[in-house]
Every structure is written in C-alpha cells, then in structure tokens.
Structure 1
Amino acid sequence: MSGIIGKKIGMTSIYSADGQNVACTLVEVGPCVVTQVKTVETDGYDAVQLGFGDKKAKNTSKAMQGHFAKANTTPKRKLVEFRNFEGEAALGNEIRVEEVFAEGDFLDAVGTSKGKGFQGVVKRHGFGGVGQATHGQHNRLRAPGSIGAASFPSRVFKGLRMAGRMGGDRVKIQNLRVMKVYGDKNLIVVSGSIPGAKNSFVILEK
C-alpha cells in the first residue's frame, strides 16, 4: 500500500471529460521525506515512515531531532507509516505526488472529521425533532423522549443513541477519483469531499 501525506486546502469544482461539473477537494501533497525504513529484521515488520510539514527545532524533542538528523532532513510535523510501500524508499529520499498517483487513479482519503462538541440527538443521530413531536411533548421538540428502560432491565443498554460528543473522529473515505495532478505545484484534485477542516492533515492511500 503506497500513500502520501497532504494538507487539505479546500473545495472547488471542475468539469470532467464528459462535461459533468464535479465537486472536488484540493490537497497540497508532499513533497514527503522518508524518515525511517522499517524491516522485519530490525522492527518485526516492513514499513516506510514518511514525514510532511516543517516544524521548528525548538518545538521538537532531542530524541526526534536525532531521528530526523539520521534522514538528513528538518523536523517534520506529521509522521505516517505505510506498509508494503511501492517504489524507491531509501532513508532521506523525497517522495512527490506524481510518483504515487496519476490522473484517473482511485484512492482512499483518511482525515479527522470536524469536531462539533456536545450535540443533541437531532443533530447527532437525525432524530425527528421539530415537526415530528411524539409522546405529547408540547415543549420538548428536540428531546430524545423515552429510552424504554423500566424495572427490567433496570439499566440503559450500551450503544443507545443519545446526546454526546460529535465529530473529531478518524474517518476514511474510499474510492475517490484523482481528477488532476499538478506535480510542479505539489497539488492534487480529488473528486468528492475529504473529512477534516481546511489546513488539516490528510493521508492519501492507494
């Protein structure tokens, strides 16, 4: 599985070859640096660690400064491991977007969804809410209503849909088409939406 790390720039739309207006996400990807090559002999498994985004040395621990010095590169903000990496992956090598993806490819995008804070059942789970009031609740139009527990089972079952923290989760969107690749600008245009806020890190996997 090859991949690369990027930063979500925002959304736009472009016309496809058949004249369809396609909503797309613009991602700044790479160049990423190979900061570590793991092998079965030394680490128990094969993987390639990539780093992306510069970070100040004063905000980097001494141990990590030494880690990056081995790869002859500056400290990086985001580190991600990829198993079964295809292509050249020597320590210190630079991986560019055109080496991993081409126009027409399909990829999986991994990001952290926007955090919504503590939300009620209408927003969090799509309960009926206003206009579909039940249980005769004349003044509780966004309340969850009865949760069905009584002397049996005398508890609330795990997993019941209730209010709580929403968003801020790791989300993977699969099978997004690569619409355009701009290698000279380190940009890639992907069909559809990718989880996360603008300027958040995303992982693009083959």
Structure 2
Amino acid sequence: MSKAILGKKLGMTQVFTEEGIVIPVTVVEASPNVVVRVKTVDTDGYNSIQLGYGEIKEKHLIKPVKGQFDKAGVAPVKYLREFRLTDMPDYTVGQTLAADIFAGGDLVDVIGTSKGKGFAGTIKRHGFHRGPMAHGSKSHREPGSLGPMTSGGGGKVVKGKKLPGQMGGNQATVLHLSVVKIDMDKNLILIKGGIPGAKGSLVMIRDTVKPR
C-alpha cells in the first residue's frame, strides 16, 4: 500500500456513463488530510504514516495529544489514523493530501465501522432457520441444542459458537472497489458500490491489497 486518505461518508447516489449505463456510487467527502507523523523501518521498525482529518477545538484536546501536534507543527485535527506502508514513506510531516491522490479507475479498499444493530438473536445475526411454528413446538426462534463438549473436562460451550449477541458496530473492510470519479471542487471521491458505516461516519480509503 502506498496511498491512503481519510474521509466522511455522505451517502449513495448514481452516475451515468457516456453509454447511458447507471452506476451506483458512494460519495465520500475527503477534505484535505495532514501528515502528522512519518515512521520508518530505521526508527520505528516499520513504515507508516499517521494522517489527521477533521476540525476540533484545541480546548477539547488532552495534553499528550496536543503535544503531538505541537511537535509536528500542525494544527490540531479530530481524527488520527495510521496506515502501514510497504515501501519507505515518500511523505513529510505537515504535508496535505487531497482527494486527487486517487483517480478514476483506481482500485481501493474502504475501512469503516459497520452500522450497529443492537442485541440480535441467531436468526437475524447468523441466518439460523426457525423451528416449527405449531403450538406443540417448544422452539420457535431459540438457538437450539449447543452440542457441548463432554469428554475431558465436562460439558461446556465450544468457544466461538454462534449465539445471540451484539450485531454490527465492528470494523469492516470492503476490498477491491473501483473509484468512478474525483470531484476536486467539492473534495469528493465517488466509489462504485456500498461501503461500511452510516452517513457521516469516518472511513479510510487505501490502495487495494488485492489488485487482481
């Protein structure tokens, strides 16, 4: 990976090609990002850059974070994210990155936080089938038998068993999406298809790790 940027998901729309084909796209507002820190193999053991995005008042910062911005000599930002790089970073602290870091036709991966669905049962969360709905049935939407282990230590639920619990609200990555268009006047990146997260949420766009 050599290119990355932070942005805000605005929602979905559609664009038309010259042939009249409609393409569903997600619109990401990628206002200029600032490079807050650069790490290299020689100094930190790996290559990466730390990007900052969004506005924040200085009074809302804790002293260690404020000191990090003071050391870098950049204005405080709301979000900080680090991106690993495969090669030696070709960036400098204080450098700004805009939406034109990508171009139409580029293949990217998008990382975001999926929409939280709250506490969900196994049918909604894992796609389990329901039981018989007749009055004699005692299991309509229950998970059913767990098949506990009984040998060597007594019966217990196997770790990783699919059970009810919190659904969504996790980091999710969608791979191999294509950039349809870049609008530099409005700092917008139009990406084909859907990406994780709700409207207004932070997303991270990077070069795809699976180009083929």
TM-score by length of 2: 0.86
Kindly state the Cα deviation for residue 135 of structure 1 after the two structures are TM-superposed.
10
Counterpart of 2:210 in structure 1 is: none
Counterpart of 1:97 in structure 2 is: 99
Matches within 5 A, 1:22-171: 22-84=23-85, 88-98=90-100, 100-129=101-130, 133=132, 138=137, 140-149=139-148, 154-171=155-172
Does the aligned pair in 1 maintain the 2:9–2:27 contact within 8 Å?
Answer: yes
Structure 1: unaligned runs, 5 residues or longer: none
Once residues 44 and 136 of structure 2 are traced to their aligned partners in structure 1, the CA distance between those partners, rounded to angstroms, is 60
Counterpart of 1:179 in structure 2 is: 180
Residue 162 of structure 2 aligns to a residue in which SS?
coil
Counterpart of 1:4 in structure 2 is: 5
Residue 125 of structure 2 aligns to a residue in which SS?
helix
Structure 2: unaligned runs, 5 residues or longer: 208-212
Once residues 20 and 128 of structure 1 are traced to their aligned partners in structure 2, the CA distance between those partners, rounded to angstroms, is 38
Does the aligned pair in 2 maintain the 1:109–1:173 contact within 8 Å?
Answer: yes
Q: Determine what percentage of the aligned residue pairs are the same residue.
A: 43
Once residues 201 and 9 of structure 2 are traced to their aligned partners in structure 1, the CA distance between those partners, rounded to angstroms, is 6
TM-score by length of 1: 0.88
Once residues 149 and 6 of structure 2 are traced to their aligned partners in structure 1, the CA distance between those partners, rounded to angstroms, is 51
Does the aligned pair in 1 maintain the 2:48–2:89 contact within 8 Å?
Answer: no
Counterpart of 1:20 in structure 2 is: 21
- What do residues 145-183 of structure 1 show as CA deviations (whole Å, max 9, x unaligned)? 222348566222122211111111111101111011011
* Counterpart residue type for residue 26 of structure 1: V
Once residues 120 and 18 of structure 2 are traced to their aligned partners in structure 1, the CA distance between those partners, rounded to angstroms, is 42
* Counterpart residue type for residue 137 of structure 2: H
Residue 43 of structure 2 aligns to a residue in which SS?
helix
Counterpart of 2:194 in structure 1 is: 193
C-alpha change, 1:88 and 1:17, in structure 2 (3 Å) is: farther
Once residues 135 and 149 of structure 2 are traced to their aligned partners in structure 1, the CA distance between those partners, rounded to angstroms, is 20
Once residues 34 and 110 of structure 1 are traced to their aligned partners in structure 2, the CA distance between those partners, rounded to angstroms, is 19
User: Aligned Cα RMSD in Å?
Assistant: 2.3
Kindly state the Cα deviation for residue 134 of structure 1 after the two structures are TM-superposed.
7.8
Does the aligned pair in 2 maintain the 1:50–1:80 contact within 8 Å?
Answer: yes
- What do residues 25-62 of structure 1 show as CA deviations (whole Å, max 9, x unaligned)? 11011300011111233322222111001111111012
Does the aligned pair in 2 maintain the 1:29–1:97 contact within 8 Å?
Answer: yes
